Structure 1
């Protein structure tokens, strides 16, 4: 079946079918449904090679992220896939496993050689390394703590988000607040969430106790459970913990249970990421939504725009930094302390 066959079957022009296939916005919803029904009934599949030759584009974007096994990144990838489909794009996914060398080299990755643009989610690159990233194709850096100088970047104000978490816990009567964070000896000093945690404690006139700072080797349920047990052993007086990552927080719920600590009666728990499981665990998990859906929608749209402009020779504004909002999602795990 060809595009012209679909057009004849649907009673529209070939250009209309082409627009629907590309995800163009100039077609009415009624016509789009009619064309899509014709595509489905006829089993039409676009000739991607011919399409690429005509447009100078592959209509594929690359997504480089640490790991699809971490719940937040898995759900972010799902959001990117959904938004990409709406723009008529396919997605190639590669995992960097949080390795700075692989994050630096993602623009030269042979696997992503033919994509129209790359969406990079780094966790290991430092500020200067992120700024020095260069690419021969559109690059968007969707990251928590850095903004890149030669690429568009998206960022949530993690400092203020973490500060809001601590303020929420303090308002609930918590005074001995711990943090679980990825890191070797201690949380990375360039992580806005850790710095916001420290600032939140100081705002409330509370000390920053090193005994209540537990670093983890990875962001997994098991690591969160181990960290919670370490925390109870090291600082048994802890009455709240902020986990920098929902996987850590969900694991911490189990670790605290193993130590005989009730949540939230004895210890309040707050995570970060607002993954789907947070709303269905027991107790349900208070967490921060860092604007994952907004980030996916805006980042993919920007990549699509820049890729189309590059193919047609149109100049676009210089890359810049874009802010994404956050929201504290209050659930059962951080209910106020008992009087």
Structure 2
């Protein structure tokens, strides 16, 4: 019968199993110095008494909190929600939990996330960098474990994991051109920007056109935010102005989805009349009708790299030179684009 008191201690388990508290500790922590019969007796006692490991106390004894911070521009965007889920799965394997906070893609929010990560009792911080000035970041006084994600050029003192925005966009647009598209609307691009997601994906769009020898019409570039409504409005605006197009490259899957709805409302078929690609390969992309062709930026590889780098810092592994990792992107060809002939 399980112990009825509110708190079962390690000493209770030891008495029940007829072993020392050190033996119970060795079993709980997976140390190899316990024989199989003794280990089984201790595990049976744990189950019988309902003993639960106090992870908070364990972390505090080790000078840790068991919490990792994830600071992202916005919580509403599906990409960041799904990134948080992938990271949570991986950090849980290390007895760490993810706490997510929003920076608002602002300089102040990003600087605060780094400056106050220790005050918020994080063992480490993952920061998505959008607006912060790299020079300011390099001057921050912090010895906390930090891994940066995002597209901006960053000081070499931080580990940095990036997706290959340029080549991912190039792959998507090259496929549209190879299947016969010649007037590809780009929804969300910023050709005038530097080292931001919209600018880098716009660079890939332009690169694919140069490689194919197809000129770019500036009227086909629609700068906008990345909500469903923005993708919808971008297509309606092109049609209202009488600007012809035979394909759409949405800089995110969300704006591509909004574009698809606008095309359907306008009586255009996808992909027969207009082809569409997105970027991010969010979970919903494969379940549209037709399923969305999009760029997978290497979700699992990015999550693995971020986790590995931050865990190494948290555990105090001998520090190598800070690493900058670029994860390859892969085009996922589905139903919103035509197959190659």
TM-score, length-normalised on structure 2?
0.83
Residues 238-257 of structure 1 aligned to structure 2 (within 5 Å): 238-257=245-264
CA shift for structure 1 position 128? 4.9
Counterpart CA distance in 2 for 1:38 and 1:63 is: 34
Counterpart CA distance in 1 for 2:130 and 2:48 is: 41
Report what 2:102 is aligned to.
95
Counterpart CA distance in 2 for 1:320 and 1:336 is: 38
Name the SS for the 1:332 alignment partner.
coil
Alignment counterpart, residue 188 of structure 1, candidates 180, 193, 199: 193
Residues 222-241 of structure 1 aligned to structure 2 (within 5 Å): 222-234=229-241, 236-241=243-248
Equivalent residues of 2:293, 2:337 under 8 A apart: yes
Report what 1:25 is aligned to.
none
Instruction: Report Cα offsets for 1:186-245 as digits up to 9, x if no partner.
Output: 6634331111111111111112211100011x2211111112212333453211111111
Counterpart CA distance in 2 for 1:37 and 1:303 is: 36
Instruction: Report Cα offsets for 1:239-283 as digits up to 9, x if no partner.
Output: 111111111111111122222222111111110100111001111
Counterpart CA distance in 1 for 2:269 and 2:216 is: 24
Equivalent residues of 1:189, 1:195 under 8 A apart: no
Counterpart CA distance in 1 for 2:48 and 2:130 is: 41
CA shift for structure 1 position 126? 5.3
Report what 2:333 is aligned to.
330
Name the SS for the 2:270 alignment partner.
coil
Is there any run of 5+ residues in structure 2 with no aligned partner, and where?
Answer: 1-7
Counterpart CA distance in 1 for 2:291 and 2:223 is: 24
Counterpart CA distance in 2 for 1:255 and 1:55 is: 55
Counterpart CA distance in 2 for 1:287 and 1:35 is: 48
Change over 3 Å in CA distance of 1:38–1:67 after alignment to 2: farther
Instruction: Report Cα offsets for 1:90-149 as digits up to 9, x if no partner.
Output: 111101122222112211236863111100112333555565665320110111354442
Equivalent residues of 1:211, 1:234 under 8 A apart: no
Matched, 1:125 2:128: no
TM-score, length-normalised on structure 1?
0.84
CA shift for structure 1 position 334? 1.1
Residues 250-265 of structure 1 aligned to structure 2 (within 5 Å): 250-265=257-272
Equivalent residues of 2:9, 2:51 under 8 A apart: no
Matched, 1:56 2:63: yes
Report what 2:287 is aligned to.
280
Residues 67-86 of structure 1 aligned to structure 2 (within 5 Å): 67-86=74-93
Equivalent residues of 2:13, 2:49 under 8 A apart: no
Matched, 1:214 2:217: no
Equivalent residues of 1:72, 1:246 under 8 A apart: no
Larger radius of gyration: 2
Change over 3 Å in CA distance of 1:280–1:37 after alignment to 2: farther
Task: Report the aligned-residue RMSD.
Answer: 3.1
Name the SS for the 1:140 alignment partner.
strand
Report what 2:297 is aligned to.
290
Matched, 1:168 2:175: yes
Change over 3 Å in CA distance of 1:208–1:307 after alignment to 2: same
Counterpart CA distance in 2 for 1:187 and 1:254 is: 28
CA shift for structure 1 position 315? 3.1
Residues 306-321 of structure 1 aligned to structure 2 (within 5 Å): 306-309=313-316, 315-321=318-324
Aligned pairs, number: 320
Equivalent residues of 1:212, 1:235 under 8 A apart: no
Matched, 1:198 2:206: yes
Instruction: Report Cα offsets for 1:10-29 as digits up to 9, x if no partner.
Output: x9741331359xxxxxxx9x
Change over 3 Å in CA distance of 1:36–1:124 after alignment to 2: farther
Name the SS for the 2:315 alignment partner.
helix
Counterpart CA distance in 2 for 1:204 and 1:36 is: 68
